[in-house]
A and B are shown apart, each in its own frame.
Chain A
């Protein structure tokens, strides 16, 4: 039992320490396990639970650190300090948030659909966690290596919108529903360019498994597939509903959007899910385009993965801090008229290149990069020209020759009031004021 998972070092370490299955573990240098023989099934179960616990808690801890880091970074971007009072460098601020949120009063509005209202936070947190099950965090460190990993990620991330819609509908709040409708519109539009952007990667790697994709990246695919990366990054930002696509939570328009009626830990779960989505999206971008855990040797692979993940997170936060929000119609126009065309160009060019080099070696990948970059730059330039806003065609008016005739005429001199009598006597005197 368990041989199938032995490539997974995360699983192997726990399972073999527990069971010491002689058949599969001893050959890899493990001594006898804690459990007596015959209880391999228990070891299998315990190992599985341990892995789940490890990943879930690791992700939750990562969210706490990310929230703190994001707030500190916000501070730096906005020329202030950010949280620095509770704990060293303010590290405990997010912990305090979590504890406080758990002990707040839980409010269910009278108008709400109670079942759905309580279900929605679970519906959003579960898929956000599920995504992490296929992500390889290092050499052989993953929960499961699905052979359709990319499809799985696409499918799971789309579930978020369903729960947003559930949350909004069940709150009985009109503003929330507006926000949820925007969320659906965003999902439908950006799912397509997002999926098409990955097609190039899949063609190059010849597999949908995230592990195989990393192995195939002799050259990071960001260099081979610049157009794919560009589209995927933007589409992923839109899927996460992060600025400049934060239409669902547009604070200056919809207050808190679909979260309007959520309090306490239910709100906390949405908050967690949002940041988990940020981490998982960065992880996927790292895996698909930045060659995942690959790096130079003395430094372990997990470190490479973490460093690339943090770099992507930084860029996402940077975007969020810098850019204003797009309007709904512009967002949709951008998806259908801009990104969709770009992915098509990308797929065609990549297909031609694959036809030339069916089994790309590293040298071939460099050659593909040399072709793809000019294509990417030219096509992005053309699309930006096509979709960009035209500057004003009229010149600015000359103050000395304005279009509206201000002060062009004057009243007859005899009608002008002398300066000394600007204050006219009030006709009626007031009776009561005599005493003052």
Chain B
């Protein structure tokens, strides 16, 4: 006798321990199997794009901090690159090296957060998360040395950064890089070979790479499927063409592959920072105010600049009408676009995997809703 069941629809979020912020899903279950999912966005929609139209180009840097609040430096960098492209500003070399160091540190912090929360979603009661966040605190200390803020940095300015790193930053950075490698080794030892982690993440939420590309998904998610697409390598911005690093690829394109790619990429970021420290030279960290005034008036036109953010291609599209404020700012938010295939990943899967898959996408509600 076949048992007839009726699917049950449950609302998850916007307040839920593992929706990484104020994300909401309507999920339809049949037993433990997910039948349908509908994401609901907008619980953190703050209207940054509209507010940017009333602020000067330098003031907008503070708004970009608060979009993806676990990778503020990367947001700053993407925005500053767009402004520099729009206004034709030539950045000063020391500033560029400093912002490369800052953004790679931020990438490590972001990947650590992603890894920690993924394991939290897997059900580890906080321990891996706390170990990852402990290392993140050290990185935030480095940011405090650079700019005085922990997570909303506003460190970058058109043409470079707003102040030079203090003398004690460099030994601290050197120490910190060693600590990061230790933490990553520790995480790998305990987690990558753990049978429970492996059995729960292997083969779940597999996405073919053609589908990923068609859905505009970039970043670690795309690289976990074996597509060698890293803007730092394919479209080098700043001085990424002067450093060498390995591109981390995996073929499985499942949750484990995404986790693995993130963990490995932290090592590559450390490698990049080491090369930056070798190549950085004394000089001004930004052009003088004669060359790049406080109130920038870019020529009429538009520019789109994208960087390899911690979650994927992070792009800023700016339209200038020649005034001190942009006529239109648009953010190509990788977190939002990476969620395009959420339904494909979840439908047919188990309820227990729902938040693991969700965590493996690594999204940030500030960036999803802006």
Chain A residues close to B by CB (< 8 Å): 74, 77-80, 174-175, 178, 182, 243-244, 246-247, 250-253, 255, 320-330, 388-389, 392, 394, 396-397, 399, 402-404, 406-407, 422-426, 429-430, 433, 436
The residue of chain B having its C-beta at the shortest distance from the C-beta of A252 within the complex is: B18
Q: Does A406 lie within 8 Å of B229, measured CB to CB?
A: yes
B268 → A minimal CB distance (Å): 11
Q: Does A404 lie within 8 Å of B227, measured CB to CB?
A: yes
B53 → A minimal CB distance (Å): 11
The residue of chain B having its C-beta at the shortest distance from the C-beta of A321 within the complex is: B127
CA distance A151 to B126 in the complex (A): 37
- Complex interface: chain B residues within 8 A of A246 (CB): 123
Chain B residues close to A by CB (< 8 Å): 8, 10, 16-18, 29, 32, 85-86, 88, 119-127, 130-131, 134, 194-200, 202, 209, 213, 226-229, 234, 246-247, 249-252, 299-303, 319-325, 327, 350-355
A71 → B minimal CB distance (Å): 12
Please report whether the interface of chain A is mostly helix, strand, loop or mixed according to DSSP. loop
Q: Does A330 lie within 8 Å of B249, measured CB to CB?
A: no
Name B32's contact: one of A323, A325, A328 (CB within 8 Å).
A328
Q: Does B355 lie within 8 Å of A406, measured CB to CB?
A: no
In the complex, the number of residue pairs spanning A and B with C-beta atoms less than 8 Å apart equals 159
B117 → A minimal CB distance (Å): 9
CA distance A79 to B17 in the complex (A): 22
CA distance A19 to B317 in the complex (A): 91
CA distance A247 to B353 in the complex (A): 12
| With A397-B251, A423-B85, A436-B323 as contacts: A322 and B10 at CB distance below 8 Å | no
- A to B CB contacts below 8 Å, 9 in the list: A252-B120, A253-B352, A324-B123, A326-B200, A394-B251, A397-B228, A422-B85, A423-B86, A425-B301
Interface-centre pick from A174, A252, A396 (highest chain B CB count, 10 A): A252
- Complex interface: chain A residues within 8 A of B134 (CB): 79
Name A426's contact: one of B121, B228, B300 (CB within 8 Å).
B300
Q: Known pairs A253-B352, A327-B200, A425-B301; list 6 more (Cβ under 8 Å).
A: A392-B252, A399-B249, A406-B227, A425-B300, A426-B320, A433-B327
Q: Does A403 lie within 8 Å of B300, measured CB to CB?
A: no
- Complex interface: chain B residues within 8 A of A175 (CB): 10
Q: Does A389 lie within 8 Å of B250, measured CB to CB?
A: no
CA distance A119 to B263 in the complex (A): 49
Name B125's contact: one of A320, A389, A406, A430 (CB within 8 Å).
A320
Q: Does B299 lie within 8 Å of A423, measured CB to CB?
A: yes
- Complex interface: chain B residues within 8 A of A320 (CB): 125
Interface-centre pick from A77, A250, A253, A323 (highest chain B CB count, 10 A): A253
The residue of chain A having its C-beta at the shortest distance from the C-beta of B229 within the complex is: A406
- Complex interface: chain A residues within 8 A of B322 (CB): 433, 436
A52 → B minimal CB distance (Å): 35
Q: Does A402 lie within 8 Å of B228, measured CB to CB?
A: yes
- Complex interface: chain B residues within 8 A of A250 (CB): 123, 352
Name A253's contact: one of B124, B321, B354 (CB within 8 Å).
B354
